Amino acid sequence: MIRKRDRNQLAARIAQDIPDGSYVNLGIGMPKLVGNYISAEREICVHSENGVLGIGPAPLPGQEDFDLINASKDPVTLVPGGCFFHHADSFAMMRGGHIDIGVLGAFQVSVHGDLANWHTNAPDAVPAVGGAMDLALGAKKVYVMMDHFTKGGVCKIVHDCSYPITGLRCVSRIYTDLAVIDVAVDGLYVREIVENLSLEELQRISGVPMRLARET
Amino acid sequence: MINKIVDTIESAVAGIEDGGVIMISGFGSAGQPTELIDALIVQGARDLTIVNNNAGNGEAGIAALLKARRVRKMICSFPRQSDSYVFDALYRAGEIELEVVPQGNLAERIRAAGAGIGAFYTPTGYGTLLAAGKETRRIDGRDYMLDYPIHADFALIKAEAADRWGNLIYRKTARNFGPIMATAAKCCVAQVKRVVKLGDLDPESIVTPGLFVQRVVQIAPAVEAAIGAGSLV
């Protein structure tokens, strides 16, 4: 039986790959969970687009300050050494290549690393992009955190994105409930597969070519 | 003598004309100048273009302005939220124009307006739907699109404290768009919790120099809380 990673296991897995000393931005939705698994021994500085570096744990009930929020508009806390800045500076950090790792959710990722995560093109959808395009383009590494399949069973790793693009060739690595996959210039390299799932089977159900990653 | 303090919220929003471009600070409700927006609703200007990160939450602030049908167009990065139903309904009914701008381009377009920049090349949005109709250019092997500043007639912003010169400090992430919007409008109006004596703000800590601010109005925290609770209209 295939042992899929649940969201929290996936968040913990991504947190393992964030080195001590990194500046990271955790996108809205699922990527927020990654913050729960960054252990205290590692000093990792969490950035949020709305003008804060050094986000700490969630506040205790009753201690919320609604002037201190993250990109999802949840109340957060500030760690010692944290600071505030205005929006143009915040996006200079993102677009200017100063953020080491951005973790983003996705509707689709292509085999070339194109990312689609902002708009479904559905006729009644209200388009909303937020800071996703800036982070996709600007972070030194973009890690995508997503389910391997849609609720309807369609693989979210695709030859070419059918949803509108957020950024071209910007994804470095894909973390799904089934696998950890690097995106290289010449295609996808599987670094890790969950228990009882073979590379051949993963490729078959995904419908896109993948190779096993070389040992690094 | 320089004194930018105005005594009433009515005088703070005086002169906003129909068809004007109004920047409103805030990220969700953090930093949103709710009392200035309420005063703008009373003031009555219509056919406005509103520049904000979002398109209103619940029924207060920008959502109330939208509900009062004063807004012709929203320029924002993230209109869709769990509680943006006022905007969503107007948009789906085709009763409001929407310009979606990636958040960093929105910030930079505002910054550029304040800094006297004519246009700038940004990588954000290149190759996407939001690049439609924009000039592009490859610089040092990277692709960019040309984007233009957003100038405003008024900026309505929220800060923590001011002095009579209009120097401002902010509070935590309520700072967000305030400092850049202050620079990009012909008239920047700041609502603040506290007005302090000239010289009492630490010059090393002033975020917005008073030069960028034309009017300051104090909203006493008690009044703010009462309005927040919906007991004052």
Tokens standing for residue A128 = 């909303």
Closest approach of A106 to chain B, Cα-based (Å): 15
Chain A interface, mutation test: which of B29, B77, B82, B124, most A Cβ atoms within 10 Å?
Answer: B124
Phi first, then psi: what are they for A172, rounded to 5°? -95, -40
Instruction: Convert the pLDDT of each residue in A161-191 to its tens digit.
Output: 999 999 999 999 999 999 999 999 999 999 9
pLDDT at A6 > cutoff 80: yes
pLDDT at A122: 87
Q: Do B30 and A73 touch (CB under 8 A)?
A: yes
Averaged pLDDT for residues A119-148: 94
pLDDT at A215 > cutoff 70: no
Averaged pLDDT for residues A79-92: 98
pLDDT at A216 > cutoff 60: no
CA-angle at A107, arms to A58 and A95, nearest 5°: 65
CA gap A28, A216 in Å, rounded: 31
CA-angle at B225, arms to B219 and B229, nearest 5°: 135
Q: Do B122 and A95 touch (CB under 8 A)?
A: yes
| Contact with chain B for residue A167, Cβ under 8 A | yes
pLDDT at B233: 34
Phi first, then psi: what are they for B174, rounded to 5°? -75, -5
CB B71 within 8 A of CB B96: yes
* pLDDT class of B2 with cuts at 50, 70, 90: very high
Instruction: Convert the pLDDT of each residue in B73-130 to its tens digit.
Output: 999 999 998 899 999 999 999 999 999 999 999 999 999 999 999 999 999 999 999 9
Tokens standing for residue A176 = 């799904």
- Interface size, chain A vs chain B, as Cβ–Cβ contacts under 8 Å: 136
Amino acid at A8: N
Q: Do A51 and B175 touch (CB under 8 A)?
A: yes
pLDDT at A7 > cutoff 50: yes
Chain B residues touching A48 at Cβ < 8 A: 173
CATH architecture for segment(s) B18-118+150-228: 3-Layer(aba) Sandwich (3.40)
* pLDDT class of B230 with cuts at 50, 70, 90: very low
Which of B78, B88, B180 is facing A87, going by the closest CB pair? Answer: B180
Amino acid at B68: A
Q: Do B108 and A52 touch (CB under 8 A)?
A: no
Mean pLDDT of chain A: 95
Amino acid at A27: G
The three-class DSSP label of residue B188 is strand
Locus of tokens 């600007």: A138
Query: Pick from B47, B7, B2, B29: which is nearest to B164 by CA?
Result: B2
Chain B interface, mutation test: which of A25, A28, A48, A50, most B Cβ atoms within 10 Å?
Answer: A50
pLDDT at B231: 42
pLDDT at B223: 52
Query: Pick from A104, A124, A130: which is nearest to B78 by CA?
Result: A130
Query: Pick from B70, B67, B147, B56: which is nearest to A126 by CA?
Result: B56
Q: How far is CA B63 from CA B35, B71, B88, B105, in A?
A: 13, 10, 10, 23
pLDDT at B76: 98
| Contact with chain B for residue A130, Cβ under 8 A | yes
pLDDT at B143 > cutoff 50: yes
pLDDT at A212: 95
Per-domain residue ranges for chain A?
7-212
- Taking 3-state DSSP, the helix, strand and coil percentages for chain A, each rounded to the nearest 5, stand at 20, 25, 55
Which of A49, A94, A127 is facing B100, going by the closest CB pair? Answer: A127
CB B171 within 8 A of CB B27: no
Residue of B nearest to A118 (CA): B78
pLDDT at B227: 52
pLDDT at B222 > cutoff 80: no
Residue of A nearest to B32 (CA): A67
Contacts of A200 (CB under 8 A, 6+ apart): none
Query: Pick from B118, B117, B113: which is nearest to B186 by CA?
Result: B113
CA gap A112, A171 in Å, rounded: 8
Catalytic: which of A41, A49, A64, A201?
Answer: A49
Averaged pLDDT for residues B33-62: 97
> Which of the pair, A172 or B230, is modelled with greater confidence?
A172
pLDDT at B232 > cutoff 50: no
Closest approach of B59 to chain A, Cα-based (Å): 17
Looking at domain A7-212, what is its CATH homologous superfamily?
A: Glutaconate Coenzyme A-transferase (3.40.1080.10)
Averaged pLDDT for residues B157-177: 98
Per-domain residue ranges for chain B?
18-118+150-228
Residue of B nearest to A97 (CA): B123
Number of residues assigned to chain A: 216
ipTM of predicted complex: 0.95
A49 has catalytic annotation: yes
pLDDT at B228 > cutoff 80: no
pLDDT at B163: 98
Q: DSSP secondary structure string, A123-166? A: TT-----TTHHHHHHHSSEEEEE--SB-TTS-BSEESS-SSPPS
Tokens standing for residue A182 = 């690097």
Q: Do A67 and B173 touch (CB under 8 A)?
A: yes
Mean pLDDT of chain B: 95
| Contact with chain B for residue A75, Cβ under 8 A | no
| Binding-face residues of A in 176-215 toward B, CB within 8 A | none
Phi first, then psi: what are they for B72, rounded to 5°? -90, -35
* pLDDT class of A124 with cuts at 50, 70, 90: confident
pLDDT at B220: 80
Closest approach of B196 to chain A, Cα-based (Å): 21
User: What does the CA dihedral A124, A128, A133, A136 come to, rounded to 10 degrees?
Assistant: -80
